[in-house]
Structure 1
């Protein structure tokens, strides 16, 4: 199991890179997004591999408050159920749960349920969990943890996000 976390840019991008590498090797990938709802450039790229990569979004958009609203929480639960089905089906070689750490942090998904699911994961299935605020229990459980650290970002100076670069 892999965890990509931290306050820096690149967690989803790293997961997409792994998905493309796996698709290039002929693996089947499930890519579930738990917070994002907007269809961005990466979705168009992943669609080119739709025979190998399944993309599903369960987010309602970025959550600004400490607690998620009911609609966002329900979407996260729906996403968790789809993720569990993907992991347990053995249909996918790689299961990426993008921004699931945010859903855990906002208490939209129960940590114990995720740990129980990971206990049932088939040995050959690689699971990747992304998002800020990775819980210590996931970090301990993971085989690989990468922390993206923000050192400097041009958006802090007022430069807006750019199509094809940030979204």
Structure 2
């Protein structure tokens, strides 16, 4: 019997959105499911990429970012990379080839207007009904929250970054 694929959103200013999505990906692989992990904005060799490639080849991973412009303004190249990624992901979501599709940092892509919320919601509306989707990133727009079946907000209570601690390999990236 086929099962419905829901739309989950992990948002908020707290740490752990991508990590939670990766935990779900591991659970899905353990249950024999196929996973596609798309990273928007990010285009560097983050430790999660290296771990997936080394230990979990059942997860297909692709980056649609050219670096990480979070402290700067996105370039036209950043916008084109994100839009190309959205077009590719639209086909993946429609195909039903993957049980779980994680769209990491899409909320940030939407916040920086790399593509429109209307275009993104249209992609979600056309997904295979059995495909589960997880969308991560701060600043989830209200339209996405309304469409989602599950929304989790990570709240920052305290973070050592405020004391000047830099991001550490294997912990933050």
| Aligned twin of 1:62 | 69
How does 1:1-80 map onto structure 2 within 5 Å?
Answer: 1-47=7-53, 48-50=55-57, 52-60=58-66, 61-65=68-72, 67-80=73-86
How far has the Cα of 1:62 moved from its partner? 3.0
Question: Tell me, what secondary structure is at the counterpart of 1:7?
Answer: coil
Q: Equivalents in 2 of 1:161, 1:100: separation in Å?
A: 21
Equivalent of residue 150 in structure 2, options 141, 144, 151: 144
Alignment size in residue pairs: 165
Question: 1:39 offset after TM fit, Å?
Answer: 1.1
Residue by residue over 1:12-57, the C-alpha shift from the partner in whole angstroms, topping out at 9 and shown as x without a partner, is 111111111111111111100001111122112211222x211000
Measure, in 2, the Cα distance between the counterparts of 1:82 and 1:122.
14
Off by >4 Å, runs of 4+ in structure 1: none
User: In the aligned structure 1, how far is the partner of 2:69 from the partner of 2:22?
Assistant: 19
TM-score by length of 2: 0.91
TM-score, structure 1 normalization: 0.94
Distance (Å, rounded) in 2 between the aligned partners of 1:3 and 1:166? 20
Give, in angstroms, the shift of residue 84 of structure 1: 0.7
* SS of equivalent residue, structure 2 residue 114: coil
CA RMSD of aligned residues (A): 1.1
What runs of 5+ residues in structure 2 fail to find an aligned partner? 1-6
Note the residue ranges of structure 1 that are not aligned, 5 or more in a row. Answer: none
Corresponding residue to 1:84 among 60, 84, 90:
90
CA distance in 2, matches of 1:40, 1:64: 18
